[in-house]
Amino acid sequence: MRIKTVPTQPFDDQKPGTSGLRKKVKVFQQPNYLENFVQSIFNSLPVDQGSSLVLGGDGRYFNREAIQIIIKIAAANGFGHLIIGQGGLLSTPAASHLIRKNQASGGLILSASHNPGGADEDFGIKYNVSNGGPAPEKFTDEFYRQSMLISEYKIAEIDDIDLDSIGAQQIETFKITIVDPVDDYANLMNQIFDFPLINKAIESGSITLCFDAMHAITGPYAKKIIEEMLGAKPGSVINAIPLPDFGGGHPDPNLAHAKKLADLMFSAEAPTFGAASDGDGDRNMILGNHIFVTPSDSLAIMAANAHLIPAYSQGIAGVARSMPTSQAVDRVAEALDIACYETPTGWKYFGNLLDAGKITLCGEESFGTGSNHVREKDGLWAVLFWLNLLAKTGLAVGDIVQQHWQKFGRDIYSRHDYEAVDLAIVNSIFDHLREQLPGLTGKSFGDFTVKFADEFSYQDPVDGSISKNQGIRIGFEDGSRMVFRLSGTGTVGATLRIYLERFESASARQDQDAQIALAKLIDLAEQLCEIKKRTGRSAPTVIT
């Protein structure tokens, strides 16, 4: 195999964010841009002839071309075996499972998650380590350091690989295995959940459903599992064909972007259950007939009912949530007398807790939930969890939520996103908030008295590593809370996220509309951060 060494120069914008490196497609298409970043990753890793790598992506624009480039760079850098999803496709949780199942040294996942796709939209790449989870900061910091030092990359001069034929291909000592992207994952789900019970409930008509794959990666997975294995009628999975531009849609499973599904679930024709997943299959939205289940509530309900699911019937070790996620799961953990951890946003922070056996379930308010079956959040797993729960209890989604609130109380919760804000303005907002922090504790604002105000810092209980500047928290004496955080998932400007929650224990007041119930807290958040005043905007871009 002939190896070519190509001189190159660093790019100054290859610092990975929360979930890898995300940029516009045209940025990645620049000469040497993708090559530099991949070589920088490989320069950071111990690679030998026995090393294996899982490779795949969500099928967005530039996915296939990028995979061919990565194959050649991996061959040149001494990898012995690549495991690639057919057609270059792999959902993020399926990739995590393949890394773990094959004891691979890691994996490269090509995705910008819930961001739009297409020639003028977003692309992304991230490295997952040998446990199947996203690379921790010590890895991504080294990737960035190497990207600033790089002077050359190595690439094998071989023909493009046939990505569409399942089976093994050999180039000298370099082996490539093309696998069905769905089979191993579907088998894993069958081991976790009671498929016969769910099938019986679907065939009897007690569960009717609609799953919106949003023309993203979970389409083939949902067709195989929900329609073929569980017996849902054909067409139960909509927008099932993955498209490079996601059909012109925004593959973010929330009420704003999965509007067709949301409209159906709040109509007279609503099935009993609705769900959606995102671009790479790691996020989920859960709905019932005329009800939307917030991701924070979904995590708490899963924790409270995990004993009803076969894989978790013996109990769960503990739970974890990202800091901005509501405290609903904390109340469940207290009732179950299990540990509950509060981590920064980013699935990588759950990895050590899962590996150490400290937690079984974890989740984020940004529509992500998961368990110890993989080391990524898993959208379809969450959907199957809810289907299993519906089949086991015989209750409707709304009834399950109401019963949970009656037992544990309701954390009324909302997130306000201000997207594509000029970074200088966002920085000025955070500087303004930081200046106020020292004098906020004990201060009263109408109904609210500040109990604590800080900038969240996290010390990992397993390895002792510290992550600072993870968002500004302001908590109040009545248990209400607001959080201000800069999101790292966008590719244009900056996204300021404001998280608001208020606890309601009285059953008679638990059905309030969240925006009405949180109105005073919303006004106070604006008073403290001046987002509308400083941006000139009259409302958030998205409210969830």
Are the C-beta atoms of 155 and 76 separated by less than 8 Å? yes
| Per-residue tokens: 211 | 């799953």
Which among 488, 306, 480 has a CA at the least distance from the CA of 382? Answer: 306
Are the C-beta atoms of 241 and 219 separated by less than 8 Å? yes
DSSP code of 160?
P
- DSSP lists the bridge partners of residue 23 as 123
Residue 155 CB-half CA count within 13 A = 19
Spatial neighbors of 335 by CB under 8 A, at least 6 apart, are: 304, 408
Q: How many CB atoms lie within 10 A of CB 69?
A: 16
For CA atoms 4, 7, 13, 16, give the dihedral sign.
positive
**Distance (Å, rounded) from C-alpha 324 to C-alpha 340?**
14
Q: State the angle between helix axes of 33-43 and 137-149 in degrees (0 to 180), rounded to the nearest 10.
A: 120
Which among 314, 260, 300, 323 has a CA at the least distance from the CA of 385? Answer: 300
DSSP string, 338-364: -EEEEE-SSTHHHHHHHHTTS-SEEEE
Distances (CA, A) of 392 to 120, 305, 320, 339, 389: 45, 10, 25, 26, 5
Catalytic residue among 113, 147, 236, 298: 113
DSSP code of 17?
B
Q: According to DSSP H, which parts of 437-502 are helical?
A: none
**Distance (Å, rounded) from C-alpha 336 to C-alpha 333?**
5
Question: Based on C-alpha coordinates, what's the Rg of the chain?
Answer: 23
Tell me the longest C-alpha to C-alpha distance in the chain: 73
For CA atoms 328, 334, 336, 342, give the dihedral sign.
positive
Are the C-beta atoms of 391 and 500 separated by less than 8 Å? no
Are the C-beta atoms of 429 and 534 separated by less than 8 Å? yes
**Distance (Å, rounded) from C-alpha 455 to C-alpha 422?**
22
| Per-residue tokens: 504 | 């309601």
Catalytic: 113? yes
Which positions are catalytic?
A: 113
